[in-house]
Chains A and B, each alone.
Chain A
Amino acid sequence: MAEYGAISEAIQKFGLAFDKKQIFEIVGNYVSRTCANSVAVFAYPESGGFEASVISAEPLGDEALDRIEDSMTPLLAKYCSPGENFEDGRYPVSRLKFESCVLRDASAAAGPNPRKRQGDIKGSLLIPIFLGNRVYSIFGIFGESELDMSRETASDMVVIGYMAAMSIKNHSVTRSMISALSEAERRMSEEAARASRAPALLALSRKLASQKTVDGVMDATLSAYREMFGVARVAIYSHNHHRRELVLEKASFGHARAAKAGIPEDSGVAGAAVQKGQPYFRRPYIDDTDEIAAIPLFGVSGVSSGAITLFDRSKKLNFEERDFELMWTIANMLSVALNLVKIQSMAESRIAEKGSDHKIIESLVTLFESRSEVASLPALTAETLGKIFTAGSIAAFEADPGGGLKNVYLSDAVSGPSVKPLELEPAAARSIFESSVAQAISGDKLVARTGDNENRHGGKLFLCLPVTAEDGRNILFVAHDIEGDGIAKAADRTLVAAVSRAVQAAFDSSGQAAEKLLTVQNGAESEICRQIQKKLVPKADGTYEKFEVASFCEPSQSPGGDLFDFIRAENGNITLLVADVSGKGVQSALISAMLRAQVRSLIGGYPEPRKLLHTLNNLICEDIDLYNFITLLLLQLSPMGGRAAFCNAGHNPVLHYVRDGDNVVIHESKNSPLGILKNMEFKEGILLLDRGDILLLHTNGLCDLKNSSGDFFGRERSPTSFKRTRARTRNR
């Protein structure tokens, strides 16, 4: 009855135990009361292995521990997988843990300096405890002498061991559940915060797309960082490669700190991010410093263009890897938006100049048509140039047979049109004028000279334009600008060259002059388009895990709105984009640039191509008048190979050469082009790819080709040609 009472008491205590130490005390007390001079050892799973706790009021000597280990190892080896719980097939001694429990019977003897039990282990009872169909723990009782234990006592020990194992397991499960619940709660809270970032990111992409200035783009980005990451301060640095400096361009904090002061390109966290080419995070090392994250910025060409730093003194940021990814996405959006603003600004400037070209051309065509009065042509031309360049003074000279120059026209702000000699003061201005004229005449080419010192040269710019008239006369036009604004602006090479060609055309006797002027106009526009398209072509060619990519992008004589983009995500996913914006010219090229920026800003938030196209289509539909429509093919390659997802919005089909079968499969578009109808759903396709398979993506230029009979190449011929290409290259 006494034993039954002890077991009953132990079982009740197990129910009340709230940690392992209490469980071990219950076991230790029961064992020490039942078997005098014995020690309980409990081996149980812990942290992916087994931990053995020696339950004793007194520390055991090394010899005793060795004996315990030697006794338990065979049983642990029998029931537990060596790979799972053992190192080199033996239970490591270091995993034997002494549990200093206050045992009721031994506590008095322990005292302040407990006796260290030495090699007094002679008898042992080892009990494997099964929970379910596997051994959960090993319960051992070790005595200073051979254990003299009745069958009933041994059975009771099994009960105690079983109850202890159950209690430890329950305790372990409860602890895991609490930990899991706590982690889940934390995750849910973080996910809720992160979920709110998706709409913010979309709002940012829209805001960036609508910005017209660099300041606007930077302000929108700074606000987005502050809202999405809860940081106190954000700053944007540009990278000046020439001066090897980082320059603070814009900051969300005080103007004093936002002054444009350069710091060495390798200093601070911004410098560290730029040097490493990846995000850099610094936790505060003293109390009053900020917690800082720095994200590098890259230009479209992949060259470092600066960095963004996020400061927080609350030290609660605790950024994770995916936070950095989002920060980096926003940094890339900033780079693209800045690039887009620059391209837009460049294009607007070019368009404005083209407006000037029109003005010049219209003026000179009028001039050409009224050229019955040949003698007055130089004066009329000079007058026109004076209007175009808004110069301080404009003069026309005619070379005389003696090599001198005779004034035939002079107009300045003081005296108006006349034929009086051009007077230039001071002497330095005269000197630079004469050398410019000599250079223009001897080289028979346009010369534009800018004075590098206004006081010394008396003017900012001379423009000397030599023209040979149809009757052989050499006429030189000279524009001189004291203020510098008019001619300096006009000194842009493209415009000056266009004027030069236009003036010469006006003097040509051929009736083709007007045609030549038109060619000048069209050439300028095509050049603008080419420059824009050239800037947008990505560096895609290369080998990427399971894929090789090769591309060819060629703008035509009259460039249109072709777009090719290559985007490689952090996870290795490759996105290829081929699109064709309807129409031609500057407008189509600009829309291509905007489309590229929109796709790049959206792609991080839309892993499925069809969903990306759905959102993209809605954005495009908002500008339906501007866009007209866009055909687009988006192909997403998984870095593991084997498959590719694609979504085709009215674009040419994907041609898939299947090596196994030597066949070309055509994957036609099942969707309408973008910009037709809002809220359209898009269908997505999956390509199963094997080694040796080839995909061809292309634009309309291919199908628009004609054969010698004038017939279009057409879509239907594409697969045959593709197969023939494959056969030809394979035979090599």
Chain B
Amino acid sequence: MKNLLVSAIREFSNGQAFEDDVTFVIVKVV
């Protein structure tokens, strides 16, 4: 799950620093 979160942050940020506050929440059905 952490991998997914980290990967999502990388994918979405594309290596940039966020200029605004950022909140990501991932919910996976298991």
- Chain A nearest Cβ from B26, distance in angstroms: 5
**Is A691 close to B, CB under 8 A?**
yes
Binding site for A on B (CB under 8 A): 1-5, 7-9, 11-14, 16, 18-30
Q: Are A704 and B20 closer than 8 Å at their CB atoms?
A: yes
Whether the pair A694, B21 counts as a contact (CB closer than 8 A) is: no
Chain B residues contacting A562 (CB-CB under 8 Å) are: 20-23
Contact B29 A551 (CB under 8 A): no
> With A699-B21, A705-B14, A705-B19 as given contacts, are A549 and B3 in contact (CB-CB < 8 Å)?
no
**Which A residues are in CB contact (< 8 Å) with B27?**
547-549, 576, 635, 637, 644, 694-695, 697
Chain A CB count within 10 A is highest, among B4, B7, B20, B27, for: B27
Bound-state CA distance A182–B4 (Å) is 57
Q: Is the CB of B18 within 8 A of A705?
A: yes
Asked if A12 is at the interface (CB within 8 A of a chain B CB), the reply is no
Query: In the complex, A677→B4 CA distance in Å?
Result: 39
Q: Which residue of B lies closest to A700 (CB)?
A: B20
Contact with B along A614-644 (1 / 0, CB 8 A): 0000000000000000000001010001001
In the complex, which of the residues B4, B7, B25, B28 contacts A698, with contact meaning CB atoms closer than 8 Å?
Answer: B25
Contact yes or no, A552 B30, CB < 8 A: no
A578 CA to B25 CA, complexed, in Å: 8
Contact yes or no, B22 A721, CB < 8 A: no
Whether A682 sits at the interface, judged by CB under 8 Å, is: no
Report A-chain residues with C-beta under 8 Å of the C-beta of B9: 552
Contact A696 B30 (CB under 8 A): no
New A-B pairs, 14, CB < 8 Å, besides A546-B30, A550-B26: A540-B25, A549-B28, A550-B5, A554-B18, A554-B22, A556-B19, A563-B23, A564-B23, A695-B26, A697-B23, A698-B22, A698-B24, A702-B22, A728-B7
Cβ contact within 8 Å between B22 and A699: yes
Cα separation A453 to B29 with both chains bound (whole Å): 62
Contacts of B3 in A (CB 8 A): 729, 732
| Complex Cα–Cα for A562 and B25 (A) | 13
Q: Which residue of B lies closest to A642 (CB)?
A: B29
Report the Cα distance A176→B28, complex, angstroms: 48
Beta-carbon contact of B20 and A692 below 8 Å:
no
Known contacts being A555-B21, A705-B14, A721-B12, is A543 close to B30, with CB within 8 Å? yes
Bound Cα distance A718, B8 (Å): 10
Given A707-B14, A725-B11, A548–B25 Cβ distance below 8 Å? no
Measured in the bound complex, the distance between the Cα atoms of B4 and A707 in whole Å is 22
A-B contact pairs, 30 of them (CB 8 A): A543-B30, A546-B29, A546-B30, A547-B27, A547-B28, A548-B27, A549-B1, A549-B26, A550-B4, A552-B23, A555-B21, A556-B18, A556-B22, A559-B21, A562-B23, A563-B23, A695-B27, A695-B28, A696-B25, A699-B20, A699-B22, A700-B20, A701-B21, A702-B24, A705-B12, A705-B16, A713-B12, A721-B11, A725-B7, A725-B12
**Do A701 and B20 contact each other (CB < 8 Å), given the known contacts A550-B2, A696-B26, A713-B12?**
yes
Q: How long is the Cα–Cα vector from A698 to B5 in the complex, in angstroms?
A: 12
- Do A550 and B20 form a contact, CB below 8 Å, given A540-B25, A707-B14, A729-B7? no
Q: For residue A696, which residues in chain B have a CB less than 8 angstroms away from its CB?
A: 8, 24-26
**Chain A nearest Cβ from B22, distance in angstroms:** 3
A residues bordering B, Cβ < 8 Å? 533, 540-541, 543, 546-557, 559-564, 576, 578, 580, 635, 637, 641, 644, 689-702, 704-707, 713, 718, 721-722, 724-726, 728-729, 732
Chain A binding surface SS class: mixed
Contact of A694 among B2, B20, B22, B26 (CB under 8 A): B26
Write out the residue numbers on chain B whose beta carbons fall within 8 Å of the beta carbon of A644: 27
Kindly list chain A residues whose C-beta atoms are within 8 Å of the C-beta of B28. 547-550, 692-695
Residue numbers in A under 8 Å from B26 (CB-CB):
549-551, 694-697
Closest 8 CB pairs of A and B: A701-B22, A562-B21, A701-B20, A550-B5, A697-B25, A695-B27, A552-B24, A699-B23
User: Shortest CB–CB separation between residue B18 and chain A, in angstroms?
Assistant: 5
Complex: chain B residue closest to A698, CB-CB: B24
| Interchain CB contact under 8 A, A556 and B20 | yes
A662 to chain B, nearest CB (A): 15
List, in ascending order, chain B residues with CB within 8 A of A691's CB.
29-30
> B18's closest neighbor in chain A, by CB?
A701
Bound complex: CA of A726 vs CA of B3, how far in Å?
Answer: 10
Chain A hits for B22, CB < 8 A: 552-554, 556, 562, 698-699, 701-702
- Shortest CB–CB separation between residue B29 and chain A, in angstroms? 5
B6 to chain A, nearest CB (A): 8
Most buried by A among B8, B11, B23, B30: B23
B2 closest partner in A (C-beta) = A550
A693 B7 Cβ-Cβ under 8 A:
no
In the docked arrangement, what's the CA distance between A548 and B27, Å? 6
CB neighbours of B25 from chain A (8 A): 540, 549-552, 564, 576, 578, 696-698
The reply to whether B8 and A725 contact each other, CB–CB distance below 8 Å, is yes
* Shortest beta-carbon distance from B23 to chain A in Å: 4
A556 to B22, CA, bound (A): 7
Chain B residue numbers with a CB within 8 Å of A689 are 29
Smallest beta-carbon distance A648→chain B, Å? 14
Instruction: Report whether B11 and A694 are in contact in the complex, using a CB–CB cutoff of 8 Å.
Output: no
Task: Contact check, A728 vs B20: say whether CB atoms are below 8 A apart.
Answer: no
Question: B5 touching A702 by the CB < 8 A rule?
Answer: no
- Docked CA distance A726–B25 (Å): 14
A554-B21 in contact given A547-B29, A690-B29, A725-B4 (Cβ < 8 Å) = yes
